[in-house]
């Protein structure tokens, strides 16, 4: 199932991804923001279990900011999992 999420507190304006039947992450894309980190994150999490990635990334901060693209991805994944009924 396809999901889109509007991050808060980051340069990225949208996070899009799919979760397959096994809740594995597919086709992760960040819109706007810095170029390298989101691409790297997408490569690392492709095919990974969304629950595990959300747990690992949740709470990741960027400097003094209270959030980051990884933290917002965790929020997006948790929202998607809740929508799909885990």
User: If you count them, how many residues does the chain have?
Assistant: 86
Query: Is 25:50 a contact under the CB 8 Å cutoff?
Result: yes
Report the pLDDT value the prediction gives residue 39, as an integer from 0 to 100: 87
Average pLDDT over residues 13-17: 97
Report the pLDDT value the prediction gives residue 86, as an integer from 0 to 100: 60
Report the pLDDT value the prediction gives residue 33, as an integer from 0 to 100: 85
Report the pLDDT value the prediction gives residue 10, as an integer from 0 to 100: 93
Can you give the residue range of the structural domain that contains 71?
A: 2-84
Number of structural domains in the chain: 1
CB-neighbour burial class of residue 28 (10 A; exposed 0-12, middle 13-18, buried 19+): buried
- Asked whether residue 42 carries a pLDDT value surpassing 70, the answer given is yes
**pLDDT > 90: what percent of the chain?**
87
Helix/strand/coil (H/E/C) assignment for every residue in 24-83:
EEEEEEEEECCCHHHHHHHHHHCCCEHHHHHHHHCCCCCCCCCCCHHHHHHHHHHHHHHH
Q: Confidence band (pLDDT; 50, 70, 90) for 36?
A: confident
């Amino acid at each position: 199932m396809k999901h889109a999420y509007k991050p808060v507190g980051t340069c990225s304006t949208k996070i899009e991804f799919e979760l397959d039947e096994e809740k594995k992450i597919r086709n992760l894309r960040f819109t706007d923001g810095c170029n390298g980190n989101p691409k790297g994150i997408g490569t690392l999490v492709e095919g990974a279990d969304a629950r595990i990635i959300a747990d690992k990334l949740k709470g990741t901060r960027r400097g003094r900011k209270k959030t980051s693209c990884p933290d917002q991805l965790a929020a997006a994944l948790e929202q998607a999992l809740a929508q799909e009924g885990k």
